[in-house]
């Protein structure tokens, strides 16, 4: 029986005894009063009874207090048990978190001793837990430079900071870490978390390296070169004895290597090219690759400006030796542009611009050489830029016009057709001849839209002349096609579209193409010319004799006409024979290949007579007519028609000196 049950049982017994005593007392009291007995003993009994009652009441109160205390103790005990369990669970939870954060974590005492370390830190450090906890200072794991970062001015830990530090493990292997330190509330302890960022730092370095270096050659790229140039400019402004120079170089005919051996071979050549250049330079010089096959050399701290020219000459000699690419000998000469006097420059981009300009000048002069930049080259570049801008505006506003030079039958002296010669009607400079802008148009690709405009205008004018009279339907139109435009797949479609648009028959249009352009890619040319012929177009080789033609290829090409260059015709009558034998050979060749032959630049009656004796079919030149505007041709045709009406059977006397 429990203590609680015993106390309850005794309380009930006491109450029974008191009740029985009170009943007995009342019984005897009544009996005594009735019999007249003395009440003294009853008073004593009453007092005893009262005392017993109060005693019982006190006992009951004590028992109730004891019960309340017992229940309170039981509640408190339960709370203590529950709190202890919660604390134990909390400790387990936080220790689990401490152990499994994934980061190396330690608790550091006020004196910087490590009092607790998780397993990650233990593994990270290379020590055992027993060698670390309460035995090692946290600073022992950091280099001295990091001490200044971790500690404040009073030698305590910098709380609530993310710090980059250098950590050393037991084997003294360096590791870059990100250190986070936080104070533990209501204590003088700190919690430090370490994250290994060694790989991240290496990745950052790699990214930085890639951002400033060429991936193929590992040389500095444009961005890093610009920075080096900027520093060189600053040094030259501060120091009178500091000078630098820049070389801009480009591999000649690099595209040929890519096209013939493949791009991987081209990459191998670029790498070998860079290595050879680098070994020929000083350690303080910078070799950078700008992209493609373009490289720049920054020569720093040179004694005099002529040093750059000397380096360029030496590198030219080095590049004369062949490279071995995929088991084959490959030669990679280069053109250099040199900026020697850099004192007047403020911007790196300006130096590169001028060095690039000098390099292109070297290429124009025959490649495999170097040119030193001067202001004239810059002025030329500005002029070309302005011309390009003006050409683009001219295309947009269609400010080009055609002049037409008659092509004449040498035998009958009648006009058989015209050659369209483009002119640029510049708003400020007036009429500009093609020699001043065609090369720019070809270089910039603007020759294509310009040619389209010229061909369409020429075809429209020819169609208008045809419509004047049935007898004029025999007239043809020659148009010049540049080498840049000739092999484009779009050329034939563009011409067919123009002819269809104007409703002009293809046989009335003759395409003049230079001998050099035809021979550039012979197999492709043969296929293209055949397609043109299949469409009804006529093909003319312009300036024949000035280039190089293989007779075997010439025989395979379905060419209609050869035009003898004016340089041969102009000296045809010079003593003893001049170019007479050459012209005669060309005319004879044309006859044998069943081609029509046209002589250009016929200016004298003597030239005309000689060409006629050689059985040259046609001619054009100032002897017959200079190039005429469209309006002048309109007037000429009207005169021709009027002459034919008035003189049936006779040809219009285009030049009285050779008229019948």
What is the 3-class SS of 362-375, one letter each residue?
A: HHHCCCCCEEECCH
Please check whether residues 310 and 194 belong to one and the same domain. Answer: no
Which residue carries 């309850």 as its tokens? Answer: 8
Q: Is residue 630 part of a domain?
A: yes
Range of the domain at 420: 386-646
Please check whether residues 612 and 540 belong to one and the same domain. Answer: yes
Please check whether residues 232 and 269 belong to one and the same domain. Answer: yes
| The domain boundary residue, chosen from 167, 201, 235 | 201
Of 309, 293, 317, the residue nearest 246 (C-alpha):
309
So what's the pLDDT on residue 305? 75
Q: Is residue 207 part of a domain?
A: no
Are the C-beta atoms of 333 and 252 separated by less than 8 Å? yes
| The domain boundary residue, chosen from 51, 70, 95 | 95
* Partner residues linked to 521 by β-bridges: none
> Poorest-confidence range of 264-268, 464-468, 541-545?
541-545
Please check whether residues 260 and 362 belong to one and the same domain. Answer: yes
Of 436, 453, 471, the residue nearest 397 (C-alpha):
453
b/e code 366-380 from CB counts within 10 Å (16+ = b): eebbbbbbbeebeee
Among 79-83, 89-93, 162-166, 621-625, top mean pLDDT goes to 621-625
For residue range 23-58, list pLDDT tens digits in order: 665 565 566 656 655 556 656 666 676 776 767 677
So what's the pLDDT on residue 91? 63
Q: Is residue 655 part of a domain?
A: no
Does the pLDDT value for residue 400 go beyond 90?
yes
Does the pLDDT value for residue 256 go beyond 70?
yes
Classify residue 503 as left (phi > 0), alpha (psi -120 to 50) or beta: left
**CA separation for the pair 177, 182 (Å, rounded):** 16
DSSP label at residue 322:
P
Please check whether residues 194 and 276 belong to one and the same domain. Answer: no
Does the pLDDT value for residue 551 go beyond 80?
no
Does the pLDDT value for residue 303 go beyond 90?
no
State the chain's mean pLDDT as an integer.
Answer: 85
Please check whether residues 107 and 88 belong to one and the same domain. Answer: no
Please check whether residues 426 and 529 belong to one and the same domain. Answer: yes
For residue range 146-183, list pLDDT tens digits in order: 888 888 887 888 886 788 888 988 888 888 888 888 88
Determine the 3-state secondary structure of 426 from DSSP.
strand
Integer distance in angstroms from the first to the last C-alpha of the chain?
A: 161
**Side-by-side strand order, sheet with 370-372:** 286-291, 294-299, 245-251, 334-339, 370-372
Q: Is residue 657 part of a domain?
A: no
Please check whether residues 189 and 332 belong to one and the same domain. Answer: no
Task: Give percent of the chain with pLDDT exceeding 90.
Answer: 44
Are the C-beta atoms of 224 and 292 separated by less than 8 Å? no
Q: Is residue 380 part of a domain?
A: no
Q: Is residue 659 part of a domain?
A: no
Burial (0-12, 13-18, 19+ Cβ within 10 Å), 402: buried
Please check whether residues 502 and 612 belong to one and the same domain. Answer: yes
Whether residue 75 has a cis bond before it, omega within 30° of 0: no
Please check whether residues 459 and 589 belong to one and the same domain. Answer: yes
Quick one: pLDDT band at residue 286, thresholds 50, 70, 90?
A: very high
**CA separation for the pair 141, 172 (Å, rounded):** 9
| The domain boundary residue, chosen from 95, 112, 133 | 95
The domain tally of the chain equals 4
Please check whether residues 492 and 558 belong to one and the same domain. Answer: yes
Are the C-beta atoms of 251 and 315 separated by less than 8 Å? no
Does the pLDDT value for residue 631 go beyond 70?
yes
Please check whether residues 435 and 323 belong to one and the same domain. Answer: no
Does the pLDDT value for residue 254 go beyond 80?
yes
So what's the pLDDT on residue 20? 62
Tell me the CATH number at 143.
Answer: 3.30.450.20
Q: Is residue 52 part of a domain?
A: yes
Tell me the CATH number at 450.
Answer: 3.20.20.450
How many of the other CB atoms lie within 10 Å of CB of 95? 12
Stretch 403-417: mean pLDDT: 94
Residue 481 dihedral angles phi and psi, to the nearest 5°: -115, 125
Tell me the CATH number at 356.
Answer: 3.30.70.270
So what's the pLDDT on residue 86? 67
């Amino acid at each position: 029986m429990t203590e609680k049950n015993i106390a309850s049982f005794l309380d009930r017994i006491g109450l029974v005894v008191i009740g029985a005593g009170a009943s007995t007392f009342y019984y005897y009291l009544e009996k005594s009063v009735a019999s007249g007995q003395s009440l003294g003993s009853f008073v004593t009994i009453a007092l005893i009874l009262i005392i017993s009652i109060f005693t019982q009441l006190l006992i009951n109160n004590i028992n109730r207090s004891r019960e309340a205390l017992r229940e309170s103790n039981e509640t408190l005990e339960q709370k203590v048990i529950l709190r202890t369990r919660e604390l134990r669970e909390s400790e387990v939870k936080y220790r689990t978190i401490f152990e499994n954060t994934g980061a190396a974590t330690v608790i550091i005492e006020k004196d910087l001793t490590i009092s607790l370390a998780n397993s990650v830190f233990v593994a990270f450090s290379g020590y055992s837990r027993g060698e670390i906890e309460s035995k090692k200072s946290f600073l022992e794991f950091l280099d001295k430079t990091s001490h200044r970062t971790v500690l404040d001015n009073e030698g305590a830990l910098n709380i609530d900071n993310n710090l980059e530090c250098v950590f050393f493990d037991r084997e003294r292997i360096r590791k870059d870490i990100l250190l986070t330190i936080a104070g533990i509330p209501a204590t003088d302890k700190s919690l430090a978390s370490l994250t290994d960022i060694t790989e991240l730092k290496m990745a950052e370095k790699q990214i930085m390296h890639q951002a400033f270096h060429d991936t193929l050659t590992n040389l500095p790229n444009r961005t890093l070169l610009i920075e080096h140039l900027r520093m060189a400019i600053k040094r030259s402004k501060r120091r009178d004895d500091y000078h630098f120079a820049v070389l801009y170089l480009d591999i000649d005919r690099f595209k040929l290597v890519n096209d013939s051996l493949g791009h991987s071979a081209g990459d191998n050549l670029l790498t070998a090219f860079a290595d050879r250049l680098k070994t020929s330079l000083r350690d303080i010089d910078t070799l950078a690759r700008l992209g493609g096959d373009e490289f720049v050399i920054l020569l720093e701290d040179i004694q005099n400006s002529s040093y750059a020219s000397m380096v360029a000459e030496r590198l030219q000699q080095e590049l004369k030796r062949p490279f071995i690419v995929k088991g084959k000998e490959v030669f990679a000469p280069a053109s250099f542009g040199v900026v020697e006097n850099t004192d007047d420059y403020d911007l790196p981009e300006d130096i590169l611009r001028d060095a690039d300009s000098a390099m292109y000048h070297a290429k124009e002069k025959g490649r495999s050489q170097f040119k030193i930049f001067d202001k004239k080259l810059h002025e030329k570049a500005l002029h070309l830029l302005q011309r390009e801008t003006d050409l683009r505006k001219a295309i947009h506003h269609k400010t080009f016009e055609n002049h037409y030079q008659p092509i004449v039958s040498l035998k009958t002296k009648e006009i058989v057709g015209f050659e369209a010669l483009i002119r640029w009607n510049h708003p400020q400079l007036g009429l500009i001849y093609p020699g001043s802008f065609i090369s720019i148009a070809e270089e910039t690709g603007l020759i294509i839209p310009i040619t389209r405009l010229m061909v369409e205008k020429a075809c429209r004018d020819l169609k208008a002349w045809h419509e004047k009279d049935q007898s004029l339907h025999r007239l043809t139109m020659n148009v010049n096609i540049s080498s840049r435009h000739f092999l484009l797949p779009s050329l034939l479609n563009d011409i067919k579209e123009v002819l269809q648009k104007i409703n002009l028959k293809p046989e009335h249009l003759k395409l003049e193409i230079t001998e050099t352009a035809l021979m550039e890619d012979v197999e492709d040319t043969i296929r293209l010319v055949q397609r043109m012929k299949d469409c009804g177009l006529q093909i003319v080789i312009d300036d024949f004799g000035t280039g190089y033609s293989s007779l075997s290829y010439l025989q395979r090409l379905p060419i209609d006409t050869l035009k003898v260059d004016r340089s041969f015709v102009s000296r045809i009558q010079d003593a003893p024979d001049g170019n007479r034998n050459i012209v005669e050979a060309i005319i004879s060749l044309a006859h044998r290949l069943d081609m029509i032959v046209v002589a250009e630049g016929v200016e004298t009656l003597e030239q005309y007579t000689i060409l006629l004796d050689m059985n040259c079919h046609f001619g054009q030149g100032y002897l017959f007519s200079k190039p005429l505007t469209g309006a002048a041709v309109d007037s000429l045709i009207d005169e021709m028609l009027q002459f034919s009406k008035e003189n049936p059977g006779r040809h219009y006397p285009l030049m009285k000196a050779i008229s019948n």
